[in-house]
Amino acid sequence: MDHWTASARSPASPATPSIASQGNTCVQYFDQLCTLLKYSERQAIYGISHLQVSECSGQFRIWAGNIGALQTIQSASSLDYRLREVPKVSNQVLSLLSDLEEALADGTRSSCLYTPTSGC
């Protein structure tokens, strides 16, 4: 890997989102999905309950809070700060958060397709 490619993947690169921003985006999608699944019709159609999504959201927030994934890099206890010199690990965390964000976004879009009260 050449120097340009390595610096392009660096957590400090403007093109790379921070762990905190990616994590906070996941929190927003969890919140949206919880709101959408308050309708029992949607729960029945998609085979997932509001409680299940709410519990996963809570588990994600606990995990993220415990490791500082939602804190900005200015905080020495943030995951971004602690991984600033370990781009391979930072990129792996970002990749996993991106996968979660994509799954949550897909779930949110799917739930919006059925709108019993045009809530989307």
Count of structural domains within the chain: 1
pLDDT in tens, 10-65: 444 556 899 999 999 999 999 999 999 998 888 888 888 999 999 999 999 999 99
Chain centre to alpha carbon of residue 110 = 17
pLDDT of residue 117: 53
Tell me what pLDDT residue 39 has.
85
8 occurs within a structural domain = no
88 in a structural domain: yes
Residue 7 has pLDDT above 50, yes or no: no
User: Does 6 map to a domain?
Assistant: no
More confidently predicted of 8 and 54 = 54
pLDDT computed for residue 116 by the predictor: 52
Contact in structure between 64 and 97 (CB atoms under 8 Å): no
Are 33 and 104 in contact, with CB atoms under 8 Å apart?
yes
How many of the other CB atoms lie within 10 Å of CB of 39? 17
Give domain status of residue 39, yes or no: yes
